[in-house]
Amino acid sequence: MNRMHVVLMSAILAFAGPAGAQSLEDWDADGSGAVSQQEWTTGLDILGLFSDWDADGSGIVDEGEFAGGLFGRFDQDGDGALTASEWDDGIDAWYGEEAVDLDFDAWNSDDDDMLSADEFTDSFRVSDLYERFAAEANITDPASGIGEDAFAPALFDWFDADDDQEIAPGESAWFG
> Should residue 162 be labelled a site residue for Ca ion when binding is judged by CB under 5 A?
yes
Among candidates 162, 155, 172, which has minimal Cα distance to 70?
Answer: 155
Q: Which is nearer to Ca ion, 97 or 110 (CB)?
A: 110
For the CA atoms of 149, 60, 65, 158, what is the dihedral angle to 10 degrees?
Answer: 30
- Confirm if 40 and 155 have CB atoms less than 8 A apart: yes
- For Ca ion, the binding residues in 131-160 under the rule CB under 5 A are 160
**108 binding Ca ion? (CB under 5 A):** yes
> Which residue's Cβ lies closest to Ca ion?
58
Q: Which residues ranging from 68 to 97 are in contact with Ca ion (CB under 5 A)?
A: 75, 77, 79, 86
* CB 43, min distance to Ca ion, A: 15
CB of 5 to Ca ion, least distance (A): 24
Burial of 56-70, coded b for 16+ CB within 10 Å and e otherwise, reads eeeebbbbbbbbbbb
Kindly state the smallest distance separating residue 135's Cβ from Ca ion, in Å: 18
Minimum gap (Å) between residue 160 Cβ and Ca ion: 4
Applying CB under 5 A, which of residues 26, 54, 63, 157 lies at the interface with Ca ion?
A: 54
CB of 122 to Ca ion, least distance (A): 11
Residue with Cβ nearer Ca ion (56 or 128) = 56
**What is the CA 14 to chain-centroid distance, rounded?**
16
Contact residues toward Ca ion (CB under 5 A) are: 54, 56, 58, 60, 65, 75, 77, 79, 86, 108, 110, 112, 119, 160, 162, 164
